[in-house]
Chains A and B, each alone.
Chain A
Amino acid sequence: MTKKIKLSELGSLFGGLDIQALEGVKIEGDVEIDLGQLGFNPQMAYALGHETAQVAFHLLNISRILGYPVDQMLGGQAAAPKRLSKLIESKFSVGKMEEWKTPIQEVVLGATSSDGGSRKSTVTLGGENSLPYYFDSPMPHRNYVTMDVFDMPINMAKAVKSNYEDVINSPAEWAKKVVRDFGADMVTIHLISTDPNIKDTSPADAAKTVEEVLQAVDVPIVIGGSGNPEKDPAVLEKAAEVAEGERCLLASASLNLDYARIAEAAKKYNHVVLSWTQLEINAQKELNRKLMKQCGVARENILMDPTTAALGYGLDYAYTNMERIRLAGLTGDAELNFPMSSGTTNAWGAREAWMVSSPLKEDSDWGPREYRGPIWEIITGLTLSLAGNDLFMMMHPGAVNVLKEITQTLYGSKETEPLNIDNWVSAVL
């Protein structure tokens, strides 16, 4: 037979049995606990009575399991807080990611004289065994920055342009300046004048510009087309030819142009192909596969550009796309485990980077744009560095400086005196 008792009766039931701990428990309301076939008798309660606190907690737990809001009813007194006089000893530990078994492909850009080129230094990308800067495995190579140089004057945000006014008509001088003054690890020469809708300069003219840049600097270079899918293959072919043996990065092979011609030029003249897709992991797999299987490009000659969207303008896609690609690579997808490059300069397309002030009257003041632009480029790049991006194509010298500082700090090559932060709360800032 089922015996039902009311929670409010518990006190009196136990009261006759000399259970001290319940005296402090005030039960309000009128909730019934069904004790089912267990029954309830004084002997049982007495047996439990020696551990009075436990009885109380046990019964409360029964009611809790049955769904009664005992905590509110008890006015908090039942769960009287425990005081501890000593810290509980603890050791923290956490495992490494066992599933990250496949390293990212190492790719070398640039070739020195001993390898058939004329560069003084080379840049090695990739080789990671974990997400960037993670403790699982040290990152074998730091992040690198290649700075943009254009083969003709272009529209630039004011904050960028002010750095290049003296060299804007000479790609060679421009290239020298970014290496000498701004710490560029590499130079990207963008052959935009070849676009039929711009100046339609010939592949031969473009090749001459590439030669000038190779003469002007001794760092590895990226050769960028105009983005015109009809014209780019011819331009990049010719440029690749004059730069034979230099292991330049040819930017870019994509699914909407004749990527096979670019792959062929890279193979023939010893360069690296930039495999560029637009924010779509499956397209990236497809293009990489085609470059390897169909065109026969060796793994160590492929770099990926999965597309960079600016902070506030699709960076969520760009970030997650890169992070997914990197995780897929580390967990064994041999079509995605290549190092990545980001067109971080795209950050300057965000209106927050270049507009004098907000076009919206409701917005808080945007402050001086001279400071907004560079940081837009920094944060766009930094976010992608955390997703696994290796090489950054950038424009603003200040942005390059700060991005290098933070990525190299996280990489582990920046030493500083230890700082005590224990009193940050009371610091006068």
Chain B
Amino acid sequence: MKLNSPLQVYKYLPQINCAECGDATCMAFAAHLIDRSKKLEDCPPLLKDEFKKKYIELQTLLAPEIRQITIGVGEHARKIGGDDVLYRHQLTFFNPTAFAYDVWDTMQESELVERINKIQNFKKFYVGKFLRVNMVAVRCVSGDALKFAGTVKKVSETTGLPLVLCSFDPAALKAALEVVKDKNPLIYAATEKNWGEVAELAMNYKVPVALFSPDLDKLKSLAATFNEMGIKDLVLDPGTYPQGKQLKETFERFVKLRRAGIKEGQKDIAYPLMAVPLGAWLIYKDAVTASYWETVLASVFIVRYADVMMLHSLEPYAMLPEVHLRDTIYTDPRTPVKVAPGVNEVGSPTKDSPVIVTTNFALTYYTVESDLSSNKINCYLAAVDTDGIGVEAAVAGGQLTAAKIKDTFQKANFDFKEKTTHSTLILPGLAARLQGDVEDATGLRIMIGPPDSGRIPGWMEKNWPPKPK
């Protein structure tokens, strides 16, 4: 964005401190516009006629450096691009890389439906939410426009996920677009050869379009040409080569394009970028090797600037690290990853239910909490304030101590005599060395749980209820 301080933004705001946006002052609201935690539309006065001019100006001045575009419609619609920084600690990255998994038009229908269901049903629980994958890319392998359109039709009947229509043949793209024209698919791709016809399609069907050329001069030519024709929802594919020097050059192209867009404000190429880790399958035929290498390529370009990527492997050992790394890179570093300290109920605990201790690091807490609730273990779970540090590090660093544990129960007015029949506390296995201290500090019986909360169910079978002394 062109403005970088709240004061600069403040000049354009109504300056009446009406607090309708939820902030007490216009200056505070300005700070939220700069860090992108609020939108212009959160300021009702700004939308009135008298401020229309400022509103329009701000829209331009606050627009992200990399254009943000939307693919698909409805609840599954996915925004990509919209970034303002080269390194996540400078703000945060927006719109996590969209993962598009391929299907192709020579698949049997049953095979096709099965694959789509695998894509749209994939989920992995993580810190209070499910990680998922986002799009289906339909590849025209047959070379037959009608067959391609037929496959696209079946795909759109099977899933609401946004689609990428992949063919270099404008006739095939047109046939497919006819089938899904109201679904706002991304069309892939315009090249040096077919650009005129593909541009025509993008204009007529008003859909986002990918431009493909590993030659950055040509890629920029394509982007400038489309832009001049009024086609602004562009995705740039600078070519993903899967190996050797060509891969090194691919990496450099991603870095160059994003630096030009963000640091140098080169509007001509400030569009979302597409990587194609699927290319690993062009060089490796064995599924494990290809899946591994595809995951490696995906990881390189999740870190360095791909906004959407084409993937093939549905092996869990490929998908799990991919969705986790994307979450790693796109997690907002400004958001504290702590939960409120306290003693919480999981399920419906009774006086015979266990009382378990963990830390207030969100990842730890949610992991333990989901392991307990998923296995229907009714209990009390105490989140000790360790400044958001996990168990092992907090024990080593002195943030998880007997005094802190005692304090957590006291502050929550949790009386073991009243709430439990057993006056027993279960410490995490990784905090075993605190056993004596906690016993002395609380006078409770202390049991040591497993080092990983995934093993609590097995541990419970063996150890709970505790044997009477």
Those of A273-316 within 8 Å (CB) of chain B: 278, 311-316
Measured CA separation A354–B224 after assembly (Å) = 50
Interface size on B, residues (CB 8 A): 112
A35 CB to nearest B CB, Å:
15
B166 at the interface (CB under 8 A from A): yes
Interface stretch of the complex, out of A22-30, A261-269, A417-425: A417-425
Residues B52 and A66 in contact, CB atoms below 8 Å apart: yes
Measured CA separation A418–B303 after assembly (Å) = 25
B405 at the interface (CB under 8 A from A): no
Residues A421 and B141 in contact, CB atoms below 8 Å apart: no
Those of B250-288 within 8 Å (CB) of chain A: 251-252, 255-257, 259-260, 264, 266, 268-269, 276, 278-279, 281-283, 288
Interface size on A, residues (CB 8 A): 77
Measured CA separation A419–B452 after assembly (Å) = 46
A83 at the interface (CB under 8 A from B): yes
A165 at the interface (CB under 8 A from B): no
Given contacts A313-B363, A419-B282, contact A414 B244 (CB under 8 A): yes
Residues 312-323 of B, flagged 1 when their CB comes within 8 A of A and 0 if not, give 100111111100
A244 at the interface (CB under 8 A from B): no
Give the residue among A92, A313, A358, A362 with the most B Cβ atoms within 10 A. A92
Residues B333 and A87 in contact, CB atoms below 8 Å apart: no
Residues A352 and B121 in contact, CB atoms below 8 Å apart: no
Given contacts A323-B87, A362-B374, contact A67 B49 (CB under 8 A): yes
B176 CB to nearest A CB, Å:
13
Residues A90 and B452 in contact, CB atoms below 8 Å apart: no
Interface stretch of the complex, out of B34-42, B154-162, B294-302: B294-302
A359 at the interface (CB under 8 A from B): yes
Nearest B-chain residue to A279, judged by Cβ: B393
Residues A67 and B53 in contact, CB atoms below 8 Å apart: yes
Residues A419 and B324 in contact, CB atoms below 8 Å apart: no
Given contacts A311-B324, A311-B325, contact A419 B283 (CB under 8 A): yes
A402 at the interface (CB under 8 A from B): yes
Given contacts A81-B230, A421-B239, contact A320 B203 (CB under 8 A): no
Residues B329 and A319 in contact, CB atoms below 8 Å apart: yes
User: Is chain A's interface secondary structure helix, strand, loop, or mixed overall?
Assistant: loop
Residues B259 and A94 in contact, CB atoms below 8 Å apart: yes
A57 at the interface (CB under 8 A from B): no
Given contacts A382-B296, A419-B282, A425-B188, contact A94 B244 (CB under 8 A): no
Given contacts A364-B121, A415-B245, A421-B282, contact A84 B229 (CB under 8 A): yes
A366 at the interface (CB under 8 A from B): yes
A114 at the interface (CB under 8 A from B): no
A383 at the interface (CB under 8 A from B): yes
Residues B374 and A359 in contact, CB atoms below 8 Å apart: yes
Measured CA separation A362–B375 after assembly (Å) = 11
Residues B228 and A314 in contact, CB atoms below 8 Å apart: no
Residues A412 and B248 in contact, CB atoms below 8 Å apart: yes
Residues B321 and A375 in contact, CB atoms below 8 Å apart: yes
Interface stretch of the complex, out of B4-12, B215-223, B409-417: B215-223
A391 CB to nearest B CB, Å:
19
Residues 189-215 of B, flagged 1 when their CB comes within 8 A of A and 0 if not, give 100100110001001000000000010
B81 at the interface (CB under 8 A from A): no
Q: Which of A319, A378, A409 contacts B247 (CB 8 A)?
A: A409
Measured CA separation A416–B247 after assembly (Å) = 10
B466 at the interface (CB under 8 A from A): no
Residues 94-111 of A, flagged 1 when their CB comes within 8 A of B and 0 if not, give 110000000000000000
Interface stretch of the complex, out of B21-29, B69-77, B123-131: B123-131
Residues A376 and B241 in contact, CB atoms below 8 Å apart: no
Given contacts A372-B317, A383-B299, A402-B296, contact A359 B328 (CB under 8 A): no
A429 CB to nearest B CB, Å:
4
Residues A92 and B325 in contact, CB atoms below 8 Å apart: no
Q: Which of B214, B299, B333 contacts A316 (CB 8 A)?
A: B333
Nearest B-chain residue to A425, judged by Cβ: B166
Residues B317 and A375 in contact, CB atoms below 8 Å apart: yes
Nearest A-chain residue to B244, judged by Cβ: A416
B463 at the interface (CB under 8 A from A): no
- Provide the residues of chain A in CB contact with B445, threshold 8 Å: none
Those of A13-47 within 8 Å (CB) of chain B: none
Nearest B-chain residue to A379, judged by Cβ: B321
A361 CB to nearest B CB, Å:
6
A72 at the interface (CB under 8 A from B): no
Given contacts A406-B300, A427-B141, contact A412 B282 (CB under 8 A): no
A141 at the interface (CB under 8 A from B): no
Given contacts A81-B229, A429-B312, contact A94 B328 (CB under 8 A): no
Residues B52 and A67 in contact, CB atoms below 8 Å apart: yes
- Provide the residues of chain B in CB contact with A362, threshold 8 Å: 123, 125, 130, 374
Which chain A residues have a beta carbon within 8 Å of chain B's beta carbons?
64-67, 79, 81-85, 87-92, 94-95, 133-135, 256, 278, 311-316, 319-320, 323-324, 327, 351-352, 355, 358-368, 371-372, 375-376, 378-379, 382-383, 386, 402, 406, 409-412, 414-419, 421, 423-429
- What are 28 A-B contacts defined by CB distance under 8 Å? A67-B49, A81-B230, A82-B229, A87-B192, A87-B221, A87-B225, A90-B223, A94-B260, A311-B324, A312-B126, A313-B390, A314-B363, A320-B87, A320-B88, A360-B371, A363-B124, A371-B292, A371-B317, A383-B299, A409-B244, A412-B245, A414-B244, A415-B245, A421-B240, A424-B278, A424-B282, A425-B140, A425-B141
Which chain B residues have a beta carbon within 8 Å of chain A's beta carbons?
49, 52-53, 55-56, 87-89, 102, 106, 121-126, 130, 139-141, 143, 166-168, 188-189, 192, 195-196, 200, 203, 214, 216-225, 228-231, 239-248, 251-252, 255-257, 259-260, 264, 266, 268-269, 276, 278-279, 281-283, 288, 291-293, 295-296, 299-300, 303-304, 312, 315-321, 324-325, 327-329, 331, 333, 363, 370-371, 374-375, 390, 393, 396-397, 452-455, 457
Additional A-B contacts beyond A372-B316, A410-B247, A425-B168 (8; CB < 8 A): A82-B229, A87-B195, A87-B222, A90-B224, A133-B252, A372-B320, A382-B296, A402-B292
